Amino acid sequence: MAFKKLTVELLGADGKGLAGIPVKATGCSELNSSPIGTTLFLLEEPQIAIEIEGKEVFSATLDDMPAKLVFTQDGGNWKKQ
């Protein structure tokens, strides 16, 4: 089975990384973002959904999943860059 590494980066409106934000990817445990705003997942499920603070913000097949996703906090939501 194929695996893919995914980095999720969370930024505030000021462009700085946000620490301690819960992020989850399908088939992986929920992680909190690091002091620089990143989380790292090793993916293997055929269909992947990314959740930030319990809300789904992105989904794709494993083959179509990029190596890095960047999201900016936009009010109470997250906007993909």
Indicate the Cα dihedral angle 15, 19, 25, 28, nearest 10°.
150
Q: Is pLDDT above 80 for 1?
A: no
Instruction: Please choose, from the candidates 74, 32, 69, 25, the residue with its C-alpha nearest in 3D space to the C-alpha of residue 51.
Output: 25
Q: pTM here? A: 0.94
Q: What is the pLDDT of residues 42-71, one digit of tens each?
A: 999 999 999 999 999 999 999 999 999 999
Q: Is pLDDT above 80 for 78?
A: yes
In this structure, the number of other CB atoms found within 10 A of the CB of residue 41 comes to 21
Q: Is pLDDT above 70 for 38?
A: yes
